[in-house]
Structure 1
Amino acid sequence: MLRTAFTTKLYVTVLVAIVLGAAVGLAFPGAGASLQPIGTSFIALIQMLIGPVVFCTIVTGVASAGELASVGRIGVKALVYFEVLTTIALAIGLVVMDVAAPGRGVHADPHAITISDAAKVYVSTGESQHWYDFLVNIIPGSVVSAFTEGNVLQILLVSVLFAIAVKALGERGEPLVRGIGRIGDAVFVIVRMIMYLAPVGAFGAMAYTVGAFGTHTLVSLAGVVLLFWGTGVFFAVVVLGLVARLCGLRVLRLYRHFKAELLITLGTANYEAVMPRLMTKLVNLGCPRRIVGLTVPSGYAFNGDGVCLYLGFAALYIAQAFDIHLSLWQQIGMLAVFMITSKGSAGVAGAGFVILAATLSTTATVPVAGIMLLLGVDRFLSTMRGLVSLCGQILGSIVVSRWEGELDLDRARAVLAGEQVPDSPAGGDLPPAESALAPSS
């Protein structure tokens, strides 16, 4: 039984790898920190395929859609869902900090804080950000650069435009769509092969995290980390649980179905690494492929629930630590700014810190140097940011599919109950992306 679990259940091997990685990081911090390339290499392997996955999925999905107006309708509904959920996340972060106020009593002096070289990159990038940047940056320098730079928002634009053009060709475009569909199948096979390395990547990433930022870093800010994790769990279970119930599903069953993806995110602190598997499993769950193909990539660009939860949380912690009182209207104003600046996170490394620095610079109420108060534990905060954002991505396609009246609810309930079901007719032929390591995970 144990041997079968290790060979057929991806989440089991990933969980064991995470525990072993943490143990190595605690026992041998130097060796653990040196394993960083293992985790980053696994993430890079997956990220190099995100562009082809998004392109092939969107082109085949849009080409198989009825009227192009339906594509625009799906996009608008997805954006409405993203905006509502991210605004709720921002508000929850502010409310929790107002009530718990963990920064009071720190009495930090902003003039005595020096911004480290590691943080200067975030600050300089954040200070150069504008509210309209995400609109300008959606246009790539060239078609090729969108894929080489890995900017999801730019890839999304190129893919949608190409899909509309192919759709406009009518019958002449059908051979092209079939060819791109076959390329997509091949890309998903590569994803399946790379996922065999998920336990190794999770092991290296966790060993590095614990070895480099171990318990000595956590002690001083353990309360802040625990409060943020508790807030993240509340959002994922209660807020998103309500969303799932409105769709006719139970959120804990959803998370159990996506446990392998959640564990990979836990181990690597990067939820982009599970995008291809997420898309495949959502189609298998009963969401139409054309809805998944549009909603998931745009969600990675616009629906950072975890990032938004962090922004309100971090901004108030820094203000409290500097003994700066923010009135209700000042907090509402900050929330409004975050609602705009958070949409510029797509394709930005260290998005949470960059947006935080950008907004603090814009409002000029809380010193930007305050980000140094959280830099040491940001790795642990970013893990929960990724988990919450992934939970939001899981619900995104389900909500839009339900809104469109195209969610196969009976199929979804059967899949979540662990029943064997045939390929989804609403999603078309399912690409062979499910890892042989985890056929039922």
Structure 2
Amino acid sequence: MKIQRLTRNLTFWVLLAIVAGALLGHFRPALAVQMEPLGKRFIDVVKLFINPIIFLTITLGISTMGDLKKVGRIGGKALLYFEIVTTLALLIGVGVAALVRPGDGVSTGRLDTGKVGEFTKRATEFSWGHFLADNLTLQVLLVAIVLGIGLSKYAGRKPVIHFLKACSKYVFRGLHLVMLLAPIGAFGGMAFTIGKYGIATLLPLGKLMVTVYLTMGLFVFLVLGVILRYCRIGMWSFLKYIKAELLIVLGTSSSEAGLPGLMEKLEGMGCAQPVVGLVVPTGYSFNLDGTTIYLSLSTLFLAQVFHIELSGAQILTMMGILMVTSKGAAGVAGSGFVVLASTLTAMKVIPVEGLALLLGVDRFMSEARSITNFIGNGVATIFLAHTEDALDHEMAVEALGKRLRPLRFRRGLTSGEYLGEVAEKAAE
């Protein structure tokens, strides 16, 4: 019976796919590189669901909330929270880089600057206008907020809300079917990464890799762990609850792949729908904790490689630049390198050519970035729901404590419908 339950578990198949992809990448790299479309296509299909889910979630949430002042208050608190936490992430990244000094002893003889010019060009072309124009998620969020406010004041809104709820049901049903293909996407993503770059690529910059992963782990369990503890929730319990989504993010190196599932899981543990709909998509663009840590570590790493001792004023300047440029990372292709290039260009102290050192290992570090960003947005949503009295703690205890059956991909039920069904059975 245990074996049958295991083979029906999506997490098991995703983990197995990641291991299989890594093995294929190591032993048959040429074949593994050809698996790249599997990971890319899976992410592309999941992306199709992100904006409809955001639109439906936030529109329904606001139109049924009634208190529009609360919507504005949640949005303002979310942006303040994002700024405070990403600043803490910056400070931790700078502190660890100064203490560990991962760039000491790294040779610049490995520089291959052929691709660096492309990132530098993109960095100089970046503007907030382009960011807003290219970031469809933010556009959908704004439209949903406006429509939700309009519906909340419209007397004949019931038929519209009924229609949107029906659409939501079918969107989630389609998402559940697509997520059954997650092992294939995870296999393709991991096989391509190991096959193209190889484990040997990590050795010259192994100290940087270890520093990045340890720093992000420190941030997750200390900073985010304390925030969750304030909400009376344990970090390990939360990570176990979203383990399937975490493995998908790990296998595909993309937080987008797990975003719809995270929103549903957060609702399933008692976070109010409007809070989830507002915070998660906004955080996807403005609450990039992992990206912020990576950028601060990488900047100081390159300074150490080129034996450049940054003064206190220069470090503060770097942090100020990163606090602005990192906010646009989600809207730019090759975001990590583009933002890093723009930071180095603005500082005019560290050679931009140093980015070539990071090209080979960036894919491996992107997994840590994506997972940290993903966890950070989940924690932000829980915190804001808790402070707004929009978190059902009894539901959270049930979901995280496993006294409630885990959310399954069955019959196209949304998390709210499934929990309602369980509540009805309990009442009987």
Which one of the candidate residues 161, 165, 187 is aligned to 1:181?
Answer: 165
Deviation at 1:255, TM superposition (A): 0.4
Which one of the candidate residues 331, 334, 358 is aligned to 1:350?
Answer: 334
- Say if 2:37 is the partner of 1:37: yes
Deviation at 1:23, TM superposition (A): 0.5
Residue 191 of structure 1: aligned partner: 175
Write the distance in 2 (CA, Å) between the matches of 1:422 and 1:273.
20
Write the distance in 2 (CA, Å) between the matches of 1:432 and 1:183.
14
Deviation at 1:402, TM superposition (A): 0.7
Residue 426 of structure 2: aligned partner: none
Deviation at 1:414, TM superposition (A): 2.2
The amino acid across from 2:144 in the alignment is S
Write the distance in 2 (CA, Å) between the matches of 1:69 and 1:260.
36
- Say if 2:92 is the partner of 1:92: yes
The answer to whether the Cα contact below 8 Å between 2:106 and 2:205 also exists between their aligned partners in 1 is: no
Which one of the candidate residues 371, 377, 381 is aligned to 2:355?
Answer: 371
Write the distance in 2 (CA, Å) between the matches of 1:393 and 1:269.
16
Residue 28 of structure 2: aligned partner: 28
Write the distance in 2 (CA, Å) between the matches of 1:359 and 1:202.
32
Residue 153 of structure 1: aligned partner: 138
Distance of aligned partners of 1:417 and 1:179 in 2 relative to their CA distance in 1, 3 Å threshold: same
Residue 151 of structure 2: aligned partner: 166
The 5 A counterparts of 1:252-271 are 252-271=236-255
Write the distance in 1 (CA, Å) between the matches of 2:417 and 2:45.
18
Deviation at 1:324, TM superposition (A): 0.8
Deviation at 1:5, TM superposition (A): 3.5
Residue 62 of structure 1: aligned partner: 62
Distance of aligned partners of 1:137 and 1:63 in 2 relative to their CA distance in 1, 3 Å threshold: farther
Q: Between Structure 1 and Structure 2, how many residues are aligned?
A: 414
Deviation at 1:394, TM superposition (A): 1.2
Which one of the candidate residues 341, 344, 348 is aligned to 1:360?
Answer: 344
1:228-251 deviation digits (Å, cap 9, x = unpaired): 111111111111111111111111
Distance of aligned partners of 1:416 and 1:318 in 2 relative to their CA distance in 1, 3 Å threshold: same
Write the distance in 2 (CA, Å) between the matches of 1:66 and 1:158.
18
Residue 126 of structure 1: aligned partner: 123
The answer to whether the Cα contact below 8 Å between 1:152 and 1:347 also exists between their aligned partners in 2 is: no
The answer to whether the Cα contact below 8 Å between 1:20 and 1:203 also exists between their aligned partners in 2 is: yes
1:259-317 deviation digits (Å, cap 9, x = unpaired): 00111111110011111111111011010011111111111111111100101000000
Residue 145 of structure 1: aligned partner: none
Residue 108 of structure 1: aligned partner: 108
The amino acid across from 2:86 in the alignment is T
Residue 49 of structure 1: aligned partner: 49
Residue 219 of structure 2: aligned partner: 235
Write the distance in 1 (CA, Å) between the matches of 2:166 and 2:332.
31
1:114-152 deviation digits (Å, cap 9, x = unpaired): 5223x433221112224xx1xx34654xxxxxxxx6622
The amino acid across from 1:341 in the alignment is T
Residue 398 of structure 1: aligned partner: 382
3-state SS of the aligned residue for 1:71? Answer: helix
The answer to whether the Cα contact below 8 Å between 2:399 and 2:406 also exists between their aligned partners in 1 is: no
Deviation at 1:13, TM superposition (A): 0.8
3-state SS of the aligned residue for 1:220? Answer: coil
TM-score, normalised by the number of residues in structure 2: 0.92
The answer to whether the Cα contact below 8 Å between 2:131 and 2:332 also exists between their aligned partners in 1 is: no
Stretches of structure 1 lacking an aligned partner (at least 5 in a row): 141-148, 435-441
Residue 144 of structure 1: aligned partner: none
Deviation at 1:108, TM superposition (A): 3.0
Write the distance in 2 (CA, Å) between the matches of 1:350 and 1:87.
22
Write the distance in 2 (CA, Å) between the matches of 1:123 and 1:79.
29
Write the distance in 1 (CA, Å) between the matches of 2:119 and 2:150.
39
Which one of the candidate residues 318, 322, 328 is aligned to 2:302?
Answer: 318
The answer to whether the Cα contact below 8 Å between 1:106 and 1:321 also exists between their aligned partners in 2 is: yes
Stretches of structure 2 lacking an aligned partner (at least 5 in a row): 408-412, 420-428
Write the distance in 1 (CA, Å) between the matches of 2:217 and 2:298.
17
- Counting aligned pairs with the same residue, the percent is 38
3-state SS of the aligned residue for 2:103? Answer: coil
3-state SS of the aligned residue for 2:330? Answer: coil
TM-score, normalised by the number of residues in structure 1: 0.89
